[in-house]
Amino acid sequence: MSQKTYAGITVDVNEEGYFTNSSQWSKEIALEIAKEEGVVLTDQHYAIMEFLRNRFKSGEPLSIRSINHSNVIDVKTFYQLFPGAPLKKATKIAGIPKPASCI
Amino acid sequence: MKKLLILGAGTAGTMMANKMRKDLLPKEWNITVIEKEKDHFYQPGFLFVPFGYSSRKDIMKPGQKFFAGGIDIVYKEIDRIESDNNRVFLKDETCFDYDILIIATGTRISPEDTPGLKGELWYKNVFDFYTIEGAEALARFFSTWEGGNLVVNIADNPIKCPVAPLEFAFYADDYFTKKGIRDKVNITYVTPMSGAFTKPKASKMLGSLLQRKNVNIVTDFFLGEVDNVNKKILDFGGREVPFDCLITIPLHSGDPVISKSGLGDEFGFVRADKNTLQSTSKQNIFVIGDAGNFPSSKAGSVAHFQAEVLHANLLSFINNRPLEAKFDGHSNCYIETGYGKGILIDFNYTTEPLPGMFPLALFGPFALLKETRLNHIGKLFFKWIYWNILLKGRKLPVSNQMSMSGKITD
């Protein structure tokens, strides 16, 4: 376990930089992580991150497929918002653990 | 007379009916199973069909002969579950009421959910091997194929038997080598995961095995569409992989009955407690096997381990006792690696597959996370166990809870 400082606040992260305590997250923190990931956040980014955070809180698994059921954006837009590996990037910026496939 | 109703007569439903019949007195409890298919397939056998190692008749038997006496079997299609009224309607509007319902309706592939997948190349150059029809069509294709780009692609998780696509890639290497055209077949494994498998130790081991067998791997690829004209698959971000033959493991969904009945998540898997296997919406509904939204493998071994937990919890439920049996996510899979060898993995919700011996710490006889000939023989022998022990609800000398005995940790 290590720590990082974003927007003047120290947070707990794992070796890959994912939050281990999602309650330490804030929108200001997200802005700085996004900068590290090369993403400029818009309202659409925040909306899908809210969906991801709520889903994580309710204990439901996160998957690319589930984005289509978010009623926020579709998967193609998700890829445009977080280019490359969207689910990994989005969860990192949203301050929740990297989704682990459960098989 | 009380009624236990079971939906589905696959691995899980058949096992549960037989297990419960032993404990519920016939004069007190009626047990009815509803299933639409009369034929029962040994699904691990689908892997062998494309390569001509098995045919339909080797892996198919009439489902009815695996039920103990005193179980009513109805071969009809289910329309919906009315859980508020404790009853199930068939398509022909026949109604069955129940005191306890077990949902064992499994999962199915839904290629129609990916644009272009079920397009004009379907069963011409694009095949699944998760259905007997797909496996047979592929066998016909392979018998005359002269080579090209062979792509094995998992659309997204969850899928049934998560190791089957790997086994397919290993078998393809073996098969085309023996056929003398391996140099003309370029095999690429395209997966939504970041490696060959999810858990680190198994992923590393299986990843290096793919490399050794000269199988290319493309990771973090979520299938967006299939381009039938240019024969390529594209992910949602536009990455492309060309194919001459595409082996697809399409998206999986639960039975349409589940969504229609309001009991499922967005993919139609029944929402249920991952430990007690009780539905989260109704106390008298339980779920077993692939039909549930449990974060465990969708595989027969999981259904088998769950069956013992569910059996105990159903007896508790009937006797108004707390549901004390807990499923730990235990999964146990043989992975065929070709050339007469195999790997065995054993894991649960919290422990990843580790090296070691199974089931006995010193004597095995099976080696975990290691290629051996005995593991391959274990896989072949398992077919006999499936038909003769597992489906009949008899006990195997393997605990339903995963054991750390014999496993080597760091």
Q: What is the pLDDT of residues B146-185, one digit of tens each?
A: 999 999 999 999 999 999 999 999 999 999 999 999 999 9
Residues B291 and B364 in one domain: no
Regarding whether B188 and B130 lie in a shared domain, the answer is yes
Same domain, B273 and B287: yes
In a domain, B213, yes or no: yes
CA-nearest residue to A88 within chain B is B220
What average pLDDT does range B246-267 have in this prediction?
Answer: 96
pLDDT in tens, B344-401: 999 998 999 999 999 998 888 999 999 999 999 999 999 999 999 999 999 888 889 9
Note whether B117 and B241 are same-domain residues: yes
Tell me whether A1 touches chain B (CB under 8 Å). no
pLDDT of residue A102: 47
Closest listed residue to residue B261, CA positions, set B77, B5, B81, B8:
B81
Residues B90 and B177 in one domain: no
Q: What percent of chain B has pLDDT over 70?
A: 100
Q: Over the stretch B79-128, which tens digit does the pLDDT of each residue have?
A: 999 999 999 999 999 999 999 999 999 999 999 999 999 999 999 999 99
Query: Confidence band (pLDDT; 50, 70, 90) for B402?
Result: very high
Same-domain pairing of B132 and B16 = no
CA distance B43 to chain A (A): 18
For chain B, the residues whose C-beta falls within 8 A of a C-beta of chain A are 156-158, 162, 192-193, 197-198, 220, 222, 224, 236-238, 251, 265-267, 295-297, 349
- B162, B238, B265 ranked by CB distance to A103: nearest: B162
Q: Which residue is listed with tokens 């009315």? A: B82
| CA–CA min distance A30, chain B (Å) | 23
| Chain B residues lying within 8 Å of A100, measured CB to CB | 198
Q: How far is A103 from chain B (nearest CA, A)?
A: 5
Residue of higher predicted confidence among B200 and B225: B225
Say yes or no for a CB contact (<8 Å) between B198 and A60. no
- The answer to whether the Cβ–Cβ distance between A79 and B267 falls below 8 Å is no
Contacts with B224 from chain A: Cβ below 8 Å: 75-76
* B396 inside domain: no
- Give the range of the structural domain holding residue B63, as residue numbers without chain letter: 2-106+255-318
Residue B325 in any domain: the answer is no
Whether residue B402 is contained in a domain is answered as no
Domain boundaries, chain A: 2-93
CB B109 within 8 A of CB B250: yes
B122 and B245 fall within a common domain: yes
Query: Considering the domain boundaries, does residue B287 fall inside one?
Result: yes
The structural domain count of chain B equals 3
> Domain holding B69: CATH number?
3.50.50.60
Nearest chain B Cα distance for residue A11, angstroms: 25
pLDDT of residue A103: 44
What is the percent of chain A with per-residue pLDDT over 90, rounded to a whole number? 72
Please give the residue of chain A at the shortest CA–CA distance from B155.
Answer: A65
Query: Whole-angstrom Cα distance, residue B320 to residue B311?
Result: 14
- B357, β-bridge pairs: B367
The pLDDT assigned to A101 comes to: 61
Residues B264 and B167 in one domain: no
3-state secondary structure A26-53: CHHHHHHHHHHHCCCCCHHHHHHHHHHH
Nearest residue of A to residue B331, measured between CA atoms: A103
Q: What is the mean pLDDT of residues B321-326?
A: 98
| pLDDT at residue number B198 | 78
> Are B243 and B117 contained in the same domain?
yes
In a shared domain, residues B221 and B264: no
Cβ atoms of B341 and B373 closer than 8 Å: yes
pLDDT at residue A62, as a whole number? 85
Decide if B398 is inside a domain: no
Q: What is the ipTM of this complex?
A: 0.84
Note whether B153 and B246 are within 8 A (CB): yes
Asked if A69's CB is within 8 angstroms of B266's CB, the reply is yes
pLDDT digits (tens, 9 = 90+) for A76-86: 999 999 998 89
B311 with B345, same domain: the answer is no
Is A102 part of the annotated catalytic residue set? yes
- Residue range B132-148: mean pLDDT, rounded: 98
The answer, yes or no, to whether the previous bond of A86 is cis (omega within 30 of 0) is no
Is there a contact between B236 and A75 if contact means CB atoms under 8 Å apart? yes
**B165 and B128: one domain?**
yes
DSSP string spanning B348-389?
A: -SS----SEEEEETTTEEEEETS-BHHHHHHHHHHHHHIIII
Q: Any CB–CB contact under 8 A between A102 and chain B?
A: yes
Distance from C-alpha of B100 to C-alpha of B14, rounded to nearest angstrom: 16
CB–CB of B224 and A76 under 8 A?
yes
Closest Cβ opposite residue B192 in set A60, A64, A84? A64
Among the candidates B251, B274, B289, a domain finishes at B251
Q: pLDDT tens digits, residue range B22-45?
A: 999 999 999 999 999 999 999 999
